[in-house]
Structure 1
Amino acid sequence: MFRIFDKMKNIIVGFSILLVLLPQLLQAQNRVQGQNFIVEPPTLQNLGFEWYIAGDDNRNATIQVEYRIEGTGNAWKKGMPLLRLGGEHIERAGIDYTVPHMFAGSILDVNPDTKYEARFTLEDPDGVDGEAVKVVSVSTRAEPVAARGGRVRHVYSQYYTGVKEEPNYPGLVSAYGGSVNTKGDWNVVTEDMVQPGDIIKIHGGLYQGVLLNYPDWHNIPFDGTYFFTAKGTAERPIVIEAAGDGEVIFDGAGAAILFNVMATEHHIFQGLTFKNAGRVFDAGRKRLAGASDLTIRNCRFENVGEGVVTEFAGSKNFLIQDNVLLGRDDRYRLYGWNAHREGLIPYGTHLLDSYYGIKVYGSGHVIAHNSIAFFHDAIGVSTYGTPEKEQELKAVSIDIYNNDLHLLVDDFIEADGSVHNVRVMRNRGVNAAENGISAQPVFGGPAYYIRNILYNVPQGGALKIHGGVPGLTAYHNTFISESNAGSKYPNSNYRNNLILGTDGPVNVAAFPFTTAYSVADYNGYRPNRGPESPENQFSWLAPDGKVVGFKTLKSLNEASGLEAHGITVDYDIFENLQKPVVPAVGSIPGPVYHAVDLNFKLDPRGKAVDAGVIIPNVNDGFSGKAPDLGALEVGSPAVIYGARGLDPAHEFYR
């Protein structure tokens, strides 16, 4: 009897102690502790950061961001707070990935080749354990340029009959390997290989291998592939460029791979034209090999299956800039990628013969000011699967900005497979049959979609989201298309966007948010009003897991708390823009529009002006009482899309 009493007494005492200590235990779990801090590879204009944490079970910790040019003593500028991540689950195609507890984010639109100080302040009402303020010094990259004093080698077409500069070589393979008279069995002889700082100047003319002639002038027997394996340095890259005395055309004559650059470091290719090849630059294969510090600039790609591709996790620091890439798909009709399957297009018509214009994996890549048309997809991150565990092998810090994208079979841009700090900014896409911007999935994010313009996306919508994508951050976009995500997803943030329906048979916007900390506010919507449009124009995933429809923004807000400051708009918010014609369901092809004919500027008197919210480091330079909605602030400088220096009327057709 006494033993039972003693046991009960011990239980009561233990329970009493637990009650006393419970608040302290809970507070300890809610307190945040900063752990590993990572500076991602910097790009030309953006900086990315990650700060891993423990604790903060109630997710109320924040990290404030400030930055300034180092050594100036200037006042700190305010940046966007880092995004709190952790616990979001991604499951698709055998992937089973949970985002670690951390913060991640970027400082945007800073100067190239400049050293910055960045200050991060970790705050939590429950308390901070360990270091609460982190100050780091980080430099943006400079654009790579040829070194002074490097050796110069000259290459002439086999058809050239004039005076040649010395030293000269019979084809690019010979110039790269430094050996002459090396055709046939001697094609692998490289007795004086290019060295860091060397420049190979390709003189105007046609360079077309004869794939079935093993002693061909170009030393590319049978497969038609040029192999590059040398290593330059950041200060002394290896440059292969047009000499400036006429167009340089490398015609692949149907080769599957034209330039294999997987073993290279610090190479620059510029001013060249490529035609008639499957993949022009083979820059990396998953778990095999990949290039680093590859620059492809001011080049032209015509009638190719793919332009530039790497799927190697160790590829890093590409600069793909001011190029024109033209695929093989239909140049005058908008077909979706199911057209062949449905028997609407017979095989063998050269439709759907191109895949990606540009596809990358790895870190530190910049894809900027390219004009891309007639591919399946224009630009993408490789759908790589579960990220590698090593930090240096993750797809982070990738910039895709100021590209002009026209007439795609599937999507304009796919961030699929990226991990943290992919920055999709200021791109213009007109005519994509299926979807605008894809994220299926992103492994944590943030994936920044900022100031993009999308027009005529008839079959899918502005955003394609699958697999539980977290970290989707959409600010100041102009979507002339519906935004109906394909699946549920957590931890997203939508502000200052314009989403205008085109009177199709769907609602204008869906919010399948699975977390209470997702945000949608200060956006402008134009509901669909077509004869086949549904009565409810907004949908929301309620806490009980049911999708609920709403006729108005007001009723959506009352039920969900979303869009407290959202507004409805119409096409009169623009100076002069009409909605695209939506083809009937199942009707192919759809109409094709040209960006040169479209005006996305806001009417200064319209409802979208001064209707946004301030977002540090995104809309600091707004005019008026508040930022405008959409991609283009009234009175802001004109945005240059695509390869610079082109005639906009002949960007894709000449």
Structure 2
Amino acid sequence: MRNAATHAIELVGDVHDIVIEDCDISGWGRIEADGWGRNCDSAVFSRSRSATRIIVQNNQIHHPRGDSNNWTEHRPTQRDPANHHPIGPQAIFFAESLGNHVIRHNTVYSDDDHQFNDIFGAAENYSTKGFPNCDSDIYGNRLSHCWDDAIESEGANCNVRIWGNHTDKTMVHVATATTSVGPLYIWRNVAGETRQSHGADSDNMKRGGFLKTSDRMGGGRIYLFHNTLLQPKPPQGFRNTLGAQIGMGHGGAMSNTVSRNNIFHTSARGGPFNDRTNDPSGDYDYDLYNGRLLISSHEQHGIPGVPTYAPLADRSETKLPFVLSASSPGVDAGVELPNFNDGYTGKAPDIGAHERGLPIPTFGAMWIPSPARR
């Protein structure tokens, strides 16, 4: 599907039980008078408040017609000259639906001239609905090239599960600025490069975080288990790595969040999390982390340190290895979490997204387009 004038696929009216699969979608969206892409023009778009049970799976979504501005570029359509929030195309946009969706094994990518605003997300973030609202799974996706959030899961987040995704080249990997109902489960995701602009000076570029949070309409429980934050090496001549600057707490206060068995490997001047209000409902432990803890009582069983990784025999799943080496901190150092890390291979679960000795997961679409479809 190529060159749609606005949205490539739009779901309208009383829509339910729809499957969108095995599509190669590119070139959609409008160009504004300022030369940038129209905000929220999407490969798959819906504003239907009755939409439910939508499956989006095994698709290649890439290269929208327009481009989103980054955090250092002002657009004339923004009334506040100090506001540089990204505006532009998205891959999936479901606003105020009824939920019960599955978004799995999609490959979403682009280039620096056709960036996404968010990749998966919508509007009405500070509400009791939002995206994806409730009873939904987002898993197995490979997502890159956006200036704001790779996965913007904000609103109710009631029984929402985000797991086994690989995110790269984004400002925030998973955004949860509102979890008004909960619970939200985020586990075994792998996060790569984090950036706010094209800037060539990687040592002075501000970087985002793995988890965006806020206590505005918050309070729903958030669980983070077995996620891995990678630190890609900088370009030649620079020192600071390119991954997330903070694990949890990017953007705002944290509320009712539990973390276990995560690798919070953060870049220079960063830290594992920023619980700036010392939220009494927060519970953070058994994580492998570097950087400074703001509250000394956090991470009573955590491991300060930096992981090392074993080379991957097959680099097709990710450019950077994410399986701990045999001698790395974090091996056999996690805590048991029933239904999340059953079947571990050592004396205890490994910390991070992958258990040593188990098959490497598949990220992205599980099909290969023919040459005619590329």
Range class of TM-score, shorter chain: 0.7 to 0.9
Aligned to 1:277: 5
Q: How far has the Cα of 1:384 moved from its partner? A: 5.1
Aligned to 1:62: none
Aligned to 1:70: none
Aligned to 1:497: 262
Q: Return the alpha-carbon distance in structure 1 between the equivalents of residues 44 and 177 of structure 2.
A: 21
Q: Which amino acid aligns with 1:362?
A: L
The answer to whether the 8 Å contact 1:304/1:326 transfers is no
CA RMSD in angstroms comes to 3.0
Q: How does 1:628-647 map to 2 (within 5 A)?
A: 628-646=350-368
The answer to whether the 8 Å contact 1:468/1:490 transfers is no
The answer to whether the 8 Å contact 1:602/1:609 transfers is yes
Q: Return the alpha-carbon distance in structure 2 between the equivalents of residues 595 and 406 of structure 1.
A: 13
TM-score (norm 1): 0.45
The answer to whether the 8 Å contact 1:311/1:384 transfers is no
Specify whether residues 381 and 620 from structure 1 end up closer, same or farther in structure 2 by C-alpha distance, changes over 3 A only: farther
Q: Which amino acid aligns with 2:310?
A: E
Q: How does 1:164-313 map to 2 (within 5 A)?
A: 273-284=1-12, 289-305=13-29, 306-313=42-49
166, 171, 184: which one aligns with 1:447: 184
1:425 is aligned to 2:160:
no
1:598 is aligned to 2:320:
yes
1:414 is aligned to 2:179:
no
Task: Give 1 or 2: higher helix fraction.
Answer: 1
68, 80, 89: which one aligns with 1:355: 89
Aligned to 1:463: 211
Q: Return the alpha-carbon distance in structure 2 between the equivalents of residues 410 and 627 of structure 1.
A: 33
What is the SS of the residue equivalent to 1:520? strand
The answer to whether the 8 Å contact 2:7/2:28 transfers is yes
1:574 is aligned to 2:309:
yes
Q: Which amino acid aligns with 2:359?
A: P
1:522 is aligned to 2:286:
yes
What is the SS of the residue equivalent to 1:309? strand
Aligned to 1:509: 273
1:402 is aligned to 2:140:
yes
Q: How far has the Cα of 1:500 moved from its partner? A: 0.6
Q: How far has the Cα of 1:440 moved from its partner? A: 1.8
Q: Return the alpha-carbon distance in structure 1 between the equivalents of residues 125 and 281 of structure 2.
A: 28
Q: Return the alpha-carbon distance in structure 2 between the equivalents of residues 410 and 394 of structure 1.
A: 17
Q: Segments of 4+ in structure 1 off by > 6 A?
A: none
Q: Which amino acid aligns with 2:91?
A: G
What per-residue deviation string (whole Å, max 9, x for no partner) do you get for residues 224-253 of structure 1?
A: xxxxxxxxxxxxxxxxxxxxxxxxxxxxxx
Q: How far has the Cα of 1:637 moved from its partner? A: 1.2
Q: How far has the Cα of 1:443 moved from its partner? A: 1.3
Specify whether residues 419 and 509 from structure 1 end up closer, same or farther in structure 2 by C-alpha distance, changes over 3 A only: closer
What per-residue deviation string (whole Å, max 9, x for no partner) do you get for residues 270-294 of structure 1?
A: xxx333432112214xxxx341111
317, 327, 330: which one aligns with 2:53: 317
Q: How far has the Cα of 1:438 moved from its partner? A: 0.2
Specify whether residues 448 and 311 from structure 1 end up closer, same or farther in structure 2 by C-alpha distance, changes over 3 A only: farther
The answer to whether the 8 Å contact 2:69/2:75 transfers is no
266, 270, 293: which one aligns with 1:538: 293
What is the SS of the residue equivalent to 1:320? strand
Q: How far has the Cα of 1:484 moved from its partner? A: 4.7
From the CA coordinates, give the structure whose radius of gyration is larger.
Answer: 1
What per-residue deviation string (whole Å, max 9, x for no partner) do you get for residues 560-587 of structure 1?
A: 3x2111012224x21259xxxxxxxxxx
Aligned to 1:379: 120
The answer to whether the 8 Å contact 1:315/1:363 transfers is yes
Task: Give 1 or 2: higher strand fraction.
Answer: 1
361, 369, 378: which one aligns with 2:105: 369
The answer to whether the 8 Å contact 1:490/1:513 transfers is no
Specify whether residues 336 and 565 from structure 1 end up closer, same or farther in structure 2 by C-alpha distance, changes over 3 A only: farther
Q: Which amino acid aligns with 1:367?
A: I
Specify whether residues 382 and 567 from structure 1 end up closer, same or farther in structure 2 by C-alpha distance, changes over 3 A only: same
1:615 is aligned to 2:340:
no
Q: Return the alpha-carbon distance in structure 2 between the equivalents of residues 454 and 445 of structure 1.
A: 23
What is the SS of the residue equivalent to 2:161? strand
What per-residue deviation string (whole Å, max 9, x for no partner) do you get for residues 132-152 of structure 1?
A: xxxxxxxxxxxxxxxxxxxxx
Specify whether residues 454 and 329 from structure 1 end up closer, same or farther in structure 2 by C-alpha distance, changes over 3 A only: farther
Q: How does 1:94-105 map to 2 (within 5 A)?
A: none
Q: Return the alpha-carbon distance in structure 1 between the equivalents of residues 339 and 163 of structure 2.
A: 13
The answer to whether the 8 Å contact 2:180/2:217 transfers is no
The answer to whether the 8 Å contact 1:290/1:310 transfers is no
TM-score (norm 2): 0.76
